[in-house]
Chain A
């Protein structure tokens, strides 16, 4: 039974990584939000399995928090923002997806190598998923770098938080409840502020493309 739940956690970790790659190569902003919600769902399921197999009851609360916040509220806010900003059908012109994916593969190799000695020491059931968690953090980071529009960058930021949460669950069976609640509140408030930023950015530059913000002077 112990062994089987370990395998299930590995499977969901792999799906999490798969979704990270899907987000990296997704052009449509709307699908990006749906992928983000799906990633949150994978995170919830794997947290519940970790909680069940390690008898850590506080993990059930974090799983519920993830479900409510990352699968329901944040995607809903993002969908609403998309509707209000009227960028629902936006397609981003990404430069060269295969190159981005190749860099992504290199990051995955790096993360796996980095995590290998750490997971050797740990005795947790989830030890081999630490590499995947680090890889998905780095991939979200890469996504934030390669995107030029505001909404995908914010989704990259949120996905990075997903990766961090997963790393915490897999390395140490979750963070203390206070920290987790604090982060959840941070993300929520951050989302609201960024939502206001979207409107400001669009009002100033007439678009959500952040390239306009690189100019320091008016010309």
Chain B
């Protein structure tokens, strides 16, 4: 019963704070560029505005096009609620391990690309193709990162990984250093951040994510924006679970929950600022450099696994 309550609390929490994280990253980026910035609450206001508008659909849009925002939102919400964000005692999490989690992201990607090609505009098709290019390279890298953590904790379940890394004896795992670098590269690519894609651009030939959602308006667009915020939050919390799981409450330990919540907010604040810094100091890559970038991420993750087996623990 307690577990279900906790699961419900976490689901509500992630869906509510996801736009806040996005707003915080944007605000930090604005500060770093010497602008005053739109404020951390901007994504919420944007979504309220979009929900009040009337949706416009193309004449030749199929039902797929209409359903896609809901599917995407559901996928991302599910992904974010499966990650142990504040506690490891989640009833939903035994159902899905890290490999299935990658599968959920892949499912969302398939629908995004199909919906982008549905209308038949050239921008949508272009964006979908690029998304598939980035996605098929990012996925194996993400899997290898997960395998490194799984090899350490002898389990592919995220909750077990967190419990092994955070609550057992403190051991430094050099292999996780490689995995962390690879994971950050995957995070940047999957969330359409700067070296791979620019989230704050419209109508440019280099865009990937924006090109796919050009045809959406009103509530559909709001849901898609919300889903991308959830995806960013899901990836950030996966990063916390793998590389700095300290503070996440153990199963049955209710007293640690307020502390876990505080730790989560501190980690999110730092990680958001770090992400903004990373985006500010790096330049957008040419699209044909992206395979190289993702290849490096994959090789680093493989190297992490190799180092793990070298030390043989």
The residue in chain B whose Cβ has the minimal distance to the Cβ of A7 is: B172
Q: Which of B160-201 contact A (CB under 8 A)?
A: 171-172, 174-175, 177-178, 181
Contacting residues, chain A, for B303 (C-beta < 8 A): 17-18, 21, 105, 108
Alpha-carbon distance A25/B178, docked complex (angstroms): 15
B217 within 8 A of A: no
| Contact (Cβ within 8 A) A98 B300 | no
Residue interface mask A91-105, B partner, CB < 8 A = 1:
000000110011011
B63 within 8 A of A: no
| Contact (Cβ within 8 A) B310 A11 | no
B3 within 8 A of A: no
With A17-B303, A105-B303, A131-B310 known to touch, is A10 a contact of B174 (CB < 8 Å)? yes
| Contact (Cβ within 8 A) B300 A21 | yes
Alpha-carbon distance A14/B175, docked complex (angstroms): 7
Alpha-carbon distance A162/B306, docked complex (angstroms): 21
Q: Which of B37-80 contact A (CB under 8 A)?
A: none
| Contact (Cβ within 8 A) B178 A18 | yes
What is the distance, in angstroms, from A133's C-beta to the closest C-beta of chain B?
11
| Contact (Cβ within 8 A) B172 A8 | yes
B302 within 8 A of A: yes
Contacting residues, chain B, for A10 (C-beta < 8 A): 172, 174, 311
A-B pairs with CB below 8 Å: how many?
Answer: 58
Contacting residues, chain B, for A104 (C-beta < 8 A): 299
What is the distance, in angstroms, from B293's C-beta to the closest C-beta of chain A?
10
B296 within 8 A of A: yes
Residue interface mask B279-313, A partner, CB < 8 A = 1:
00000000000011001100110110011011110
| Contact (Cβ within 8 A) A98 B172 | no
| Contact (Cβ within 8 A) A13 B291 | no
Alpha-carbon distance A19/B18, docked complex (angstroms): 34
| Contact (Cβ within 8 A) B172 A11 | yes
Alpha-carbon distance A25/B303, docked complex (angstroms): 15
What is the distance, in angstroms, from B175's C-beta to the closest C-beta of chain A?
7
| Contact (Cβ within 8 A) B292 A13 | no
| Contact (Cβ within 8 A) A14 B292 | no
| Contact (Cβ within 8 A) B299 A102 | yes
| Contact (Cβ within 8 A) A101 B310 | no
Residue interface mask A162-179, B partner, CB < 8 A = 1:
000000000000000000
The residue in chain B whose Cβ has the minimal distance to the Cβ of A119 is: B310
Alpha-carbon distance A112/B312, docked complex (angstroms): 12
What is the distance, in angstroms, from A145's C-beta to the closest C-beta of chain B?
18
Q: Give the number of chain A interface residues (Cβ < 8 Å).
A: 24
| Contact (Cβ within 8 A) B306 A112 | yes
Alpha-carbon distance A7/B309, docked complex (angstroms): 14
| Contact (Cβ within 8 A) A101 B172 | no
What is the distance, in angstroms, from A130's C-beta to the closest C-beta of chain B?
10
| Contact (Cβ within 8 A) B310 A98 | no
Q: Which single member of A8, A97, A109 contacts B306 (CB below 8 Å)? A: A109
Contacting residues, chain B, for A98 (C-beta < 8 A): 291-292, 295-296, 299
A132 within 8 A of B: yes
Q: Which single member of B177, B296, B312 contacts A15 (CB below 8 Å)? A: B177
Max chain B C-beta neighbours (<10 A), residue from A7, A14, A98: A14
| Contact (Cβ within 8 A) B177 A18 | yes
What is the distance, in angstroms, from A142's C-beta to the closest C-beta of chain B?
14
What is the distance, in angstroms, from B144's C-beta to the closest C-beta of chain A?
12
What is the distance, in angstroms, from B11's C-beta to the closest C-beta of chain A?
36
A128 within 8 A of B: yes
The residue in chain A whose Cβ has the minimal distance to the Cβ of B171 is: A7
Q: Which single member of B172, B175, B296, B300 contacts A97 (CB below 8 Å)? A: B296
Contacting residues, chain A, for B307 (C-beta < 8 A): 14, 17, 132
Contacting residues, chain B, for A7 (C-beta < 8 A): 171-172
| Contact (Cβ within 8 A) B306 A128 | no
Alpha-carbon distance A132/B171, docked complex (angstroms): 19
List A residues at the B interface (Cβ < 8 Å): 4, 7-8, 10-11, 13-15, 17-18, 21, 25, 97-98, 101-102, 104-105, 108-109, 112, 128, 131-132
- Interface contacts beyond A97-B295, A98-B296: sample of 15 additional A-B pairs, CB < 8 Å, sorted by A: A7-B171, A11-B177, A14-B307, A17-B307, A18-B177, A18-B303, A25-B296, A98-B299, A101-B296, A105-B299, A105-B306, A112-B310, A128-B310, A128-B311, A128-B312
